[in-house]
Chain A
Amino acid sequence: MTEHSARRPAQDEDRRTDRELVYAAREGDMDAFDALFYRYRDGIFRLGLAITKDPSAAEEIAVDTFTRAHRALARLEPEGSLRPWLYRVAVNLSYNRRPRKNVILSPLEDSANDTLQSEERSPSALAEQAEVRRLVLAAVDTLGPKHRIVVVLHYMNGLNLAEIAQVVDCPIGTVKSRLHYALRRLRTHLSAHPEFGIEPAALLAPSSRRTVAPVVEPLPGEPQ
């Protein structure tokens, strides 16, 4: 046989659906379980990294997530993708995790530079981008866990509203309003920085107008 066919199918080349893989793994096919592992390990690792900011903790979370999946194989019934189940476990593990002591956490910074340097930019533009990025991520950290996880799941893991709803086990409407609330909070936070071009004056309007909403339209000549 050729080289190609001799290669193992484990590394994300398995074309079977999650459901088929789960059923195969239940029968004892460990290659099927490995295929699931390769398919989702990076997403779960990133999710854990975005929440804990600690690469080794993120790896630990990935291992724990799949260990739970392995233990739960007999009762897993994925309709489409196994991703919502895995992500939900990973989110819970990430938030229930106690942060390790004496660890200096700066993993989100070092990776920023190598990707940005690949584009051809001037050093000042690069520095400005890195600064904006730092500001945005710091602002996300000020959000509460419920709102932060929605932001992370959408902007980092690229899940849409329905998928996020499955992960956090909420109606889509709730996810929508949480995301909107998170964006509004970020707007308030980032308006202090002129880099974003957000006018602070425009921010005061929403809350005041919402509380005293006009019942009738003001007449054209009426002041205010």
Chain B
Amino acid sequence: MRSFPVACRAAEQKMTELFTGELRPRERLELEAHADGCARCDAALRDLATISVALDRAYAPLRMRGTLLSPARVRLAARAEPTNSIPWWRVGFVGRLSEATMALGFAALVLGGSLDLAVKPDGTPSAPASVSVSSPSIIREYMRTQPPYEETAYLRWLRFQLRVIGAVSAPAVRYPAGGQFDVEQLSNEDDRLTHGVPR
């Protein structure tokens, strides 16, 4: 019962370091000496040590878990990112342009009922003409940059990639050992999934 709050606070600081294994031997002796004379800190030390060990054990199975993620996924994702060669003052403009084009394309889609008819309902031929050309590629670009979560859908998405876009850009990329599996799967054209376009 005989304790000073300042000493107790110092002891608390030392306790944390004790549990993380960073307490120097001399400070450890000081902590033990304080805990001998202070029932509160003694109880705290005992209980928190129990909890510390319990936490360590509770996370043990999780510590052994790993992932078989392939670096190819990072490469695909990194390739879909805007490249560094675009100067920062143009990024906003380009981003907004594509958004605007997308919006126009969508409006045209709604008005015309299909992409083929997109040009006609709008009276002005110049601006919508570019819209009808660029909007499918923007949709494709969107598909390309949004890999789905589920594994099967992801594989399907990869196939779509190689068939539609990757046929042009893929040969230029060196795939690592971990990524070859993906490429082999991709080139499997007789699979019936090839005909399915991801939603």
Instruction: Tell me the complex Cα distance, A136–B55, Å.
Output: 7
Segment 84-112 of B: residues with Cβ below 8 Å from A = 84
Segment 55-83 of B: residues with Cβ below 8 Å from A = 55-67, 69, 71, 73-75, 77-78, 81
Instruction: Tell me the complex Cα distance, A64–B147, Å.
Output: 11
Secondary structure call for the B interface:
helix
Q: Please tell me if B185 contacts chain A, counting CB pairs below 8 Å.
A: no
Q: Please tell me if A21 contacts chain B, counting CB pairs below 8 Å.
A: no
- Given contacts A59-B69, A176-B16, whether A190 and B51 have CB atoms under 8 Å apart is yes
Number of interface residues of B (CB under 8 A): 51
Segment 1-38 of B: residues with Cβ below 8 Å from A = 1-3, 5, 12-13, 15-17, 19-22
Q: Please tell me if A81 contacts chain B, counting CB pairs below 8 Å.
A: no
Q: Which residues of A contact B20 (CB under 8 A)?
A: 154, 160-161, 179
Stretch of B42-50, B119-127, B190-198 with 4 or more beta carbons under 8 angstroms from chain A: B42-50
Stretch of B129-137, B155-163, B170-178 with 4 or more beta carbons under 8 angstroms from chain A: B170-178
Q: Which residues of B contact A46 (CB under 8 A)?
A: 62-63, 65
Q: Which residues of B contact A24 (CB under 8 A)?
A: none
Q: Which residues of B contact A45 (CB under 8 A)?
A: 65-67, 69
Q: Which residues of A contact B3 (CB under 8 A)?
A: 209
Instruction: Tell me the complex Cα distance, A152–B59, Å.
Output: 8
Q: Please tell me if B150 contacts chain A, counting CB pairs below 8 Å.
A: yes
Q: Please tell me if A183 contacts chain B, counting CB pairs below 8 Å.
A: yes
Segment 184-219 of A: residues with Cβ below 8 Å from B = 184, 186-187, 190-191, 196-199, 202, 205-206, 209-210, 213, 217-218
Stretch of A34-42, A87-95, A120-128 with 4 or more beta carbons under 8 angstroms from chain B: A34-42
A66 is contacted by which of B5, B16, B21, B74 (Cβ under 8 Å)? B74
- Interface contact A37-B74, CB-CB below 8 Å: yes
